[in-house]
């Protein structure tokens, strides 16, 4: 897949190996993490993701809906916490 206009090289590493990939954008909702699957150009070298205006809008919209609990979410995993007492800084 080729990317027309906008992104031609990574602004982070200047790499030109940028492919449109399906990624999960993470939205934090309290202690929960909500994965929002999107298709967006990703730099294969540094992993930087490039959102276009429409994707940004979509994510903003998703964030709003999630924060207001006005959307049905499917549980696919849990966020767990590791609390072993042996860790000392």
The distance of closest approach from Cβ of residue 45 to Zn ion in the complex, given in angstroms and rounded to an integer, is 4
Tokens at residue 52, please? 């276009």
Residues 3-62 that bind Zn ion (CB under 5 A): 10, 12-13, 15, 43, 45-46, 48
The phi and psi torsions of 8 (rounded to 5 degrees) equal: -115, -35
Q: Cβ distance 73 to 66 under 8 Å?
A: yes
Q: Cβ distance 78 to 49 under 8 Å?
A: no
Site size toward Zn ion, by CB under 5 A: 8
Nearest CB to Zn ion, comparing residues 33 and 46:
46
The distance of closest approach from Cβ of residue 15 to Zn ion in the complex, given in angstroms and rounded to an integer, is 4
Which residues form the interface with Zn ion (CB under 5 A)? 10, 12-13, 15, 43, 45-46, 48
């Amino acid at each position: 897949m080729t990317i027309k206009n906008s992104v031609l090289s990574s602004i982070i590493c200047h790499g030109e190996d940028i492919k449109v990939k399906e990624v999960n954008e993470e939205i934090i909702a309290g202690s929960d993490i909500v994965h929002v699957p999107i298709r967006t150009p990703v730099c294969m070298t540094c992993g930087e993701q490039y959102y276009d205006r429409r994707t940004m809008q979509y994510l903003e919209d998703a964030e709003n809906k999630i924060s207001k609990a006005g959307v049905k979410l499917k549980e696919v995993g849990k966020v767990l916490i590791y609390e072993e007492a042996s860790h000392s800084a």
